[in-house]
Amino acid sequence: QKEVEQDPGPLSVPEGAIVSLNCTYSNSAFQYFMWYRQYSRKGPELLMYTYSSGNKEDGRFTAQVDKSSKYISLFIRDSQPSDSATYLCAIRNAGNMLTFGGGTRLMVKP
Amino acid sequence: EAGVVQSPRYKIIEKKQPVAFWCNPISGHNTLYWYLQNLGQGPELLIRYENEEAVDDSQLPKDRFSAERLKGVDSTLKIQPAELGDSAVYLCASSAGGAGGNEQFFGPGTRLTVL
């Protein structure tokens, strides 16, 4: 079993839809929970990160962490075609080492 | 501010040939990472440098892979000889560390195809 599991998709939604992306993890020692966005032929870029259980909002994006069930989510409101990308969840330990999920490919259709 | 620079962006070689990738991190970033990203997968760490020192290379296949970071700035990752299974994207990332923060900034990657 991988330390971080993520549904590979692809996930196809119409423009304006609410998108829900999810990951599960196995190691309780992980401290930071990150979401990266990766456009085709580009490197990953950090979208959001959270430290504790609960929600964190940034514009149209909301990151949610449930440490009791080892479950993290990213919600995108009013999705746009420009949101079409691969979304990678990543968990960071105290030594700044990242463990990535496999990524979910999202397509937002106009 | 310039981001992480990698070259070449694309490389096609035949198996058993050597290949090298170059990375220039963001100015002032002490920590440099090399990741391997297979198609449809997330990045996996190969090696991490703190300045010139490789502090985590446990995932680097040392029989054919080598890396160096001379003077604690640029870094080179080499594969010799390349195998078909090495076809992937090789990502470089850097972070400032300390008071500068731990966020890792990624370059665009080098896409390697081994024929």
**3-state secondary structure string across A1-37:** CCCEEECCCCEEEECCCCEEEEEEECCCCCCEEEEEE
- Least Cα distance to B56 among B37, B39, B35, B41 occurs for B35
Which pLDDT score is estimated for A51?
A: 83
**Angle, alpha carbons A77-A92-B41 (nearest 5°):** 70
CB neighbours (10 Å) of residue A109? Answer: 11
Which pLDDT score is estimated for B100?
A: 60
Which pLDDT score is estimated for A27?
A: 84
CB neighbours (10 Å) of residue A57? Answer: 12
Which pLDDT score is estimated for A96?
A: 82
Q: Report pLDDT digits (tens) over A1-19.
A: 788 999 888 999 999 999 9
Residue A23, pLDDT above cutoff 90: yes
Among A8-17, A22-31, A42-51, the range scoring the smallest mean pLDDT is A22-31
Among the partner-chain residues B43, B44, B95, the one whose CB lies closest to the CB of A44 is: B43
Percent of chain A residues topping a pLDDT of 70: 100
Residue A104, pLDDT above cutoff 90: yes
Average of pLDDT values for A97-109?
A: 95
Which pLDDT score is estimated for B70?
A: 84
Amino acid identity of A61? F
Write out the two tokens for B26. Answer: 């963001």
Average of pLDDT values for B15-35?
A: 96
Amino acid identity of A12? S
Write out the two tokens for B102. Answer: 């731990």
Among the partner-chain residues B31, B42, B93, the one whose CB lies closest to the CB of A88 is: B42
Q: How many helical (H) and strand (E) elements, i.e. helices and strands, does chain A have?
A: 0, 11
Give the best residue of B37, B38, B48, B92 to mutate against chain A (max A CB count within 10 A): B37
As a whole number, the mean pLDDT across chain B is 94
Q: Report pLDDT digits (tens) over B45-64.
A: 999 999 999 988 989 999 99
Which pLDDT score is estimated for A35?
A: 97
Residue B1, pLDDT above cutoff 70: no
In sequence order, the 6+-apart residues with CB closer than 8 A to the CB of B63 are none
Residue tagged 């994006």 (tokens): A61
d(CA A46, CA A41): 16
Write out the two tokens for B52. Answer: 């010139």
Among the partner-chain residues B31, B95, B106, the one whose CB lies closest to the CB of A45 is: B106
Check residue A77 and report its DSSP letter.
S
Average of pLDDT values for B9-31?
A: 96
CB-facing half-sphere around the CA of B69: CA atoms within 13 A: 25
Coil, helix or strand at residue B73:
coil
Average of pLDDT values for A32-37?
A: 94
- Least Cα distance to B42 among B113, B112, B109 occurs for B109
Residue B20, pLDDT above cutoff 80: yes
Give the best residue of B39, B102, B111 to mutate against chain A (max A CB count within 10 A): B102
Percent of chain B residues topping a pLDDT of 90: 84
